[in-house]
Amino acid sequence: MNQTIIVTGGAGFIGSNFVLEWVRQGLGHVINLDKLTYAGNLENLVEIQHHPQHTFVHGDIGNQALLAELLAKYQPTAVVNFAAESHVDRSIHGPEDFIQTNVVGTFHLLEAVRAYWNGLDQADKQAFRFLHVSTDEVYGSLGKNDPAFTETHKYEPNSPYSASKAASDHLVRAYHHTYGLPVLTTNCSNNYGPHHFPEKLIPLVIHNALAGKPLPIYGNGQQIRDWLYVEDHCAAIRCVLKTGKIGEVYNIGGWNEKQNIEVVRTLCRMLDAKKPREDGKSYADQITFVEDRLGHDQRYAIDATKIARELGWKPVETFETGIEKTVTWYLNNQDWVQNVTSGDYRHWVQKHYAERGEEMA
């Protein structure tokens, strides 16, 4: 599978890991379109910044003229859409950006891709794919004993973020059923791993622990998430892109349900072993319980049976092996962490926690 693809949001956490693996494996030319908002970071792509199979374009998926130009120039056989605002807390404080990027931006992207696809000859039309990367949060929240989300679970989004992603999923589906656009949709569980921006739980805990700051845990910390190592997720997307059935949805999960407090205590134990505190105490002493998030979903869990059964994909990493790799990566890449935790990110964290009466950064 050596092909030219356009990846949107390819400087963000999951997108950059996907782009890096695509280039490392020699799968073809990647045109990487990213708006470079606070979470898009060119440092994620340093390894391939001069690679002939990687072309970075600074731009917005809402810019249809730019999209049309890129599609005409590079003639991709696929578009993989990672571009999204993805942080629930940010969507609560400022939902408009999420509507603009996740809903309006996806619409503009679909329109540009539809126009390009309509102009292809029949063979190229049949070979083309539009793969939309989404989230398990569109399904809402599960009770403790409820079965995990399958692809036919009804949509019940509970935050402005998940509602905006649900809307984008519906648009993608509609463009297939109305126009025949050859689409694929993936809904993943919580990702973790290298290059994860430190506003999300795992990198935030590592960052704050090493800085001697409180480790903020919402509510009682018993919210449950399914954890998926990012390189496993990228492998699954490549699998869906290559052999997925047009118009289908594939749920991608790690089969690793953990309570948030369990994840944090695991991180503290690993840091205690790998980089002990100077005073000899455990990083767990820094755990601080804070007021719960508005509308906080209690449990997400992905049933990834379909992708295993139909496409033969299963995650390689267990939570134990994946979290070991993740902690080691952060300890070995503190310069990256320091660079991304300056500027816009710090301003947002200070504002967010000041409003909550907490001092976390």
59 burial type by CB count under 10 A (0-12 exposed, 13-18 middle, 19+ buried): middle
Whether 88 shows a pLDDT value over 70: the answer reads: no
Question: Is residue 49 situated within a structural domain?
Answer: yes
pLDDT of residue 343: 58
- Give the total number of structural domains in the chain: 1
Give the DSSP H or E segment for 188.
strand 183-188
pLDDT of residue 353: 46
pLDDT of residue 351: 60
Whether 133 shows a pLDDT value over 80: the answer reads: yes
Whether 138 shows a pLDDT value over 70: the answer reads: yes
| Residue carrying the six token digits 């696809």 | 117
Going by their DSSP bridges, the two strands 78-81 and 129-135 should be labelled as parallel
Encode pLDDT of 109-119 as tens digits: 999 999 999 99
Question: Is residue 218 situated within a structural domain?
Answer: no
Question: What DSSP letter does each residue of 98-127 carry, written as one string?
Answer: HIIIIIIIHHHHHHHHHHHHHTS-HHHHHH
Question: Is residue 21 situated within a structural domain?
Answer: yes
Question: Is residue 212 situated within a structural domain?
Answer: no
pLDDT of residue 296: 78
Question: Is residue 201 situated within a structural domain?
Answer: no
Q: For all residues of the chain together, what is the average pLDDT? A: 91
For residues 219 and 21, the model is more confident at 21
Q: What is the pTM of this model?
A: 0.92
Q: Which residues are catalytic?
A: 136-137, 161
Question: Is residue 63 situated within a structural domain?
Answer: yes
For residues 224 and 339, the model is more confident at 224
pLDDT of residue 116: 98
Q: CA 133, CA 106: separation in Å to the nearest integer?
A: 11
Whether 8 shows a pLDDT value over 90: the answer reads: yes
Question: Is residue 262 situated within a structural domain?
Answer: no
* Domain span at 32: 5-196+226-257+296-317
Q: CA 233, CA 354: separation in Å to the nearest integer?
A: 34
- On whether the CB atoms of residues 119 and 172 are closer than 8 A, the answer is no
pLDDT of residue 74: 98
CATH number, domain with residue 232: 3.40.50.720
Give the CA distances from residue 276 to residues 246, 264, 279, 321, in Å, rounded to whole numbers and listed in that order.
Answer: 50, 16, 8, 20
Question: Is residue 111 situated within a structural domain?
Answer: yes
For residues 61 and 296, the model is more confident at 61
pLDDT of residue 61: 96
Nearest to 324 by CA among 193, 190, 232: 193
Helical segments of the chain, H only? 13-24, 64-74, 88-93, 96-98, 106-118, 122-127, 160-179, 201-210, 230-243, 260-274, 305-311, 319-332, 334-340, 344-355
Whether 66 shows a pLDDT value over 70: the answer reads: yes
pLDDT of residue 359: 35
